[in-house]
Amino acid sequence: MGRAVFKNKQVPYIFVGCAVVFILVYIAWIKVWDNAGSQFRSPRLGIDSCIHCGMILNDIRFAVAIQESDKRGNMHNVYFDDMGCFFNYVHQHGKHIEKGLAWDYETSQPVDLLKVYFYNTHIQTPMASGWIAREEKKSASALRLSKVLQSFHPRP
């Protein structure tokens, strides 16, 4: 069996190989966890809950997902079961939204939160806010996120 010289001591190659593999796995582990929160993950229906009201997400058509950073600067996904919960959360916490997704009410396809049109309807939503999102503008009552947040008044 071959040996390597390490600080004037002979060490079997197997130990040197294990140390190198351990260091490579450790570096890969750090890289994976470093980027874990930077990708959007669709909410898991029946598992993920709304950060505002705590209700479990059951219908993707009313869901909103945003990314926000914690105190250490790490990005993580935050989910809302209803557009009204999302608007209340942003209003209460004074958040500036840079990246997010809403799901089209008709197609259930994800749409960039800054490009989606919001409608205040009489549709029964999980928290009874009536807000839905659509990818395309269907009527004059459609509002972009900035307009909704300017005119939004949270319910008591």
Q: CA-CA distance, 81 to 116, in Å (whole number)?
A: 17
**pLDDT score of 153:** 59
> Per-domain residue ranges for the chain?
3-36, 39-151
**Closest to 101 measured CA to CA, from 51, 61, 150, 54:** 61
Per-residue pLDDT of 8-51, as tens digits, reads 566 677 777 788 888 888 887 776 665 555 567 788 888 888 88
State pTM to two decimals: 0.65
The confidence score (pLDDT) of residue 9 equals 65
C-beta neighbour count of 100 within 10 angstroms: 23
- Point out the residues of the chain with pLDDT beneath 50: none
Residue 51 burial (10 A CB sphere; 0-12, 13-18, 19+): middle
